[in-house]
Amino acid sequence: MDHFLYRNGVLHAEDVAIPDIAAAVGTPFYVYSTATLTRHFELFQQALAGMPHLICFAVKSNGNLAVLKTLGDLGAGMDVVSGGEYLRARAAGVPGERIVFSGVGKTRAEMRLALEGGIRQFNVESEPELRALAQIASELGVTAPIALRVNPDVDARTHAKIATGKSENKFGIPIAKARAAYAEAAALPGIRVVGVDVHIGSQLTELAPFEQAFTKVAELTRALRADGHTIARLDLGGGLGIPYERSNSAPPLPIEYGEVIRRTVGDLGCEIEIEPGRLISGNAGILVASVVYLKEGEGRNFLILDAAMNDLVRPSMYDAYHDIVPVREPAPGVEQAPVDVVGPVCETGDTFARARALPPLDEGDLVAFRSAGAYGAVMASEYNARPLVPEVLVQGDHFAVIRARPSFDEMLGRDTIPEWLTGPR
């Protein structure tokens, strides 16, 4: 469920008409719904009710400070994968004790940043990273709380580029080597073992892979405790999918995901950490664009928008599907026709949809890409010297720009011409 609905024939974000935002900020732009963010976070709270837990929002899915503060104020922790994301979480008011630091390539500078600023735990992904963290923690005279991320060799049955739990993926320590890695961790100075971490991928649409992975984690936890380790937390990652295609069957609900957690690891007495991103923010945002031209091609027609692959890269990068809907609701029974929905970037790959059935649209009409709140603005670029688009947050009948569109002068001002190109020749 989201809060982007037609009212009197016009698409609204909660109680704000999308054309009103377009008139104020111009297109394209992203808009997020506070009510949807809140509802989806609370669904996870309900799913884990009665178990000690912390829901750590995956900052990589949407890193806007206003979005992070909205969730942080609800009690969310944050899952970060870089020093920059750590600083974003702290800038949004999230304390270090609610931040977990994941990622395969943490630098020593990033480790130092988090140790000095406060951290709940590091999810360590390799033995070399473990040794580096021990060195930095010892230099600072502190102890680094850690969970080792284990790779359970489970097929998440998702897109190959977002699967992370198979043996050939770069993530985590092979589960067969986990006991040896934990023994090394226990012997290192500056390291305190607190838990086990696992994450098998993103946009999972069935529960069986979770059950397989969590069952392996439960077996490992019992073995590690028998080895003398204190395992107080289980970080079970994120990955639960959302329904990008409304006509398809819906992915499992958070409550069903919670039942899998209870069934597989609920008897271990551990605090549960999960790292949802997409399911919280995905359907909480849309990308709004204007029609620039209607172009008749050879055997196909093109709907050319002012949004492009640099604004929403998922269709180009993953062949991902997004529902595309007119902001003005079409009349009942209006005839639809197939069009290729494309952007202005000088790439054939700048294609959002091929032969997508849409009602008639004219130049200047607004369209919305649904389910664009995750991995949308956060993955955007300025390719083709196109400014990053604004982000807007709605709450009830109010909206605010939470990231402004940069001017071309601001974009050009970030470059510097060296003196040998400006002096006399």
Supply 151's token pair. Answer: 């790779």
Which of 401-424 are b and which e, b meaning 16 or more Cβ less than 10 Å from the residue's Cβ? bbbeebeeeeeeeeeeeeeeeeee
Per-residue model confidence (pLDDT) at position 202: 74
Amino acid at 248: N
Please, what are the domains in the chain?
4-31+282-413 (2.40.37.10), 34-279 (3.20.20.10)
Give the relative orientation of helices 208-226 and 178-187 as an angle to the nearest 10 degrees: 50
Q: Helix, strand, or coil here: 116?
A: helix
Cα–Cα distance measured from residue 206 to residue 200, given in angstroms and rounded to the nearest whole number: 13
Give pLDDT tens digits along the chain (425 positions). Answer: 689 999 999 999 999 999 999 999 999 999 999 999 999 999 999 999 999 999 999 999 999 999 999 999 999 999 999 999 999 999 999 999 999 999 999 999 999 999 999 999 999 999 999 999 999 999 999 999 999 999 988 765 544 544 444 445 566 899 999 999 999 999 999 999 999 999 988 788 889 999 999 999 999 999 999 999 999 999 999 888 888 876 566 888 999 999 999 999 999 999 999 999 999 999 999 999 999 999 998 889 999 999 999 999 999 999 999 999 999 999 998 999 999 999 999 999 999 999 999 999 999 999 999 999 999 999 999 999 999 999 999 999 999 999 999 999 999 999 999 999 997 76
Residue 270 annotated in active site: no
Per-residue model confidence (pLDDT) at position 423: 79
> 391: closest CA among 58, 41, 71, 63?
63
DSSP state of 8: T
Which of these is catalytic: 187, 331, 346, 421? Answer: 346
Per-residue model confidence (pLDDT) at position 299: 87
Per-residue model confidence (pLDDT) at position 142: 98
Per-residue model confidence (pLDDT) at position 160: 52
Cα–Cα distance measured from residue 116 to residue 114, given in angstroms and rounded to the nearest whole number: 5
Which of 33-50 are b and which e, b meaning 16 or more Cβ less than 10 Å from the residue's Cβ? bbbbbbbbbebbeebbee
What is the 3-state secondary structure of 147-183? EEEEECCCCCCCCHHHECCCCCCCCCEEHHHHHHHHH
Per-residue model confidence (pLDDT) at position 101: 98
Residue 262 bridge partners (DSSP): none
- Tell me if 307 sits within 8 A of 367, measured CB to CB: no
Q: Helix, strand, or coil here: 65?
A: helix
Supply 390's token pair. Answer: 């604004």
- Strand residues in 275-323 grouped as ranges (E): 285-296, 301-305
How much is the pTM?
0.94
